[in-house]
Structure formats: C-alpha cells, structure tokens
Amino acid sequence: MSRSTTAYTVGVALAVIFVALAVYYIIPGFYHFLTFSDPYRSHLTHFILLIALAVFSLIGARFVANSGK
C-alpha cells in the first residue's frame, strides 16, 4: 500500500469516527462526556463541530489521493 492510499484510508476512517460521534452527541438521553451543560440532552454545537471535522478530514483525504498521482 502506498503512502497516499494509507493517508486516504486514515482520512476516511477519521471521517467515519467523527460522524459516529456527531450522531452520538445529537441523540438526547445518553450520557454525553466532555460537556459542561446537562450531559443527557442533545448538544448541537458538538454535532456541528464533529460534522465539520468529518468534512475537513474527507477534503484532506481527497487532496492526499490526488497528490499521489
């Protein structure tokens, strides 16, 4: 596996993890760690931040995939 393929795979894996965490933070009723307010309610700011991180990691993975050619 080349370096660009490995970096692309890591970027996509990070995006999947960020999306899973975003879904976890948007669902109310679960204990949400790393929050300063009520840990059992939905956290829109965490959701937006994690979705933004997922998008940026996908953009980064795409740049890495293009630079390897």
Under 8 Å CB-to-CB from 45, ≥6 apart: which residues? none
| CA dist list (Å): 56 to 21, 34, 39, 53 | 15, 22, 27, 5
Q: Is the pLDDT of residue 10 over 90?
A: yes
Q: What is the pLDDT of residues 21-65, one digit of tens each?
A: 999 999 998 888 877 788 888 889 999 999 999 999 999 999 988
> Domain map of the chain by residue range?
3-67
pTM of the model: 0.86
